[in-house]
Amino acid sequence: MHIFHLDGLTQLARIGDGVVNPKLRVDWPLCCGRGLCHELMPDVVALDEWGYPIVPDSLESHQVADAREAVRVCPTLALRLVDAPR
Ligand code: SF4
């Protein structure tokens, strides 16, 4: 599994080139639970009763660009896109 930390444009380009089955993952100790990712992707990320994100097991191809943006703007770098086997 390849994990891409999305804190730079070069890494974003790598994701666009290399991820074949991108999945969103949350680094829970880093997540502040304010739900910005949900605000950006309400059709992809739900919130639990405490305001923490619930991410889907997989992303549809049309959701990947929004997921990249959510990863980019996550204020605590808690969101990641990972390349997982199908
Ligand atoms: S934007 Fe980041 S810190 Fe905020 S709820 Fe989503 S994963 Fe957590």
> Of all protein residues, whose CA lies closest to atom 3 belonging to ligand 1?
31
Question: Using an 8 Å Cβ cutoff, are 24 and 65 in contact?
Answer: no
When divided into structural domains, the chain yields a total of 1
First-to-last CA distance in the chain? 11
Domain, as residue range, for 24: 2-83
Question: Using an 8 Å Cβ cutoff, are 46 and 57 in contact?
Answer: no
Q: Which residues line ligand 1 (CB under 6 A)?
A: 26, 31-37, 53, 74-76, 78-79
pLDDT score recorded for residue 85 = 66
Could you read off the pLDDT tens digit of each residue along the chain, which spans 86 residues? 444 444 443 344 344 445 468 899 999 999 999 999 999 999 999 999 999 999 998 899 899 999 999 999 999 999 999 987 66
Give the C-alpha distances (Å, rounded to integers) separating 20 from 28, 46, 60, 84: 24, 24, 11, 8
Contacts of 58 (CB under 8 A, 6+ apart): 21, 23
Residue with tokens 């309400």: 42
Distance from the alpha carbon of residue 35 to the mean position of ligand 1, in angstroms:
5
CATH number at residue 23: 3.30.70.20
Residue to probe by mutation, ligand 1, list 74, 80, 81, 82, most atoms within 8 Å of CB: 74
pTM metric for this prediction: 0.74
User: Would you call 56 exposed, middle or buried from its count of C-beta atoms within 10 A (0-12, 13-18, 19+)?
Assistant: middle
Residue to probe by mutation, ligand 1, list 5, 34, 48, 73, most atoms within 8 Å of CB: 34
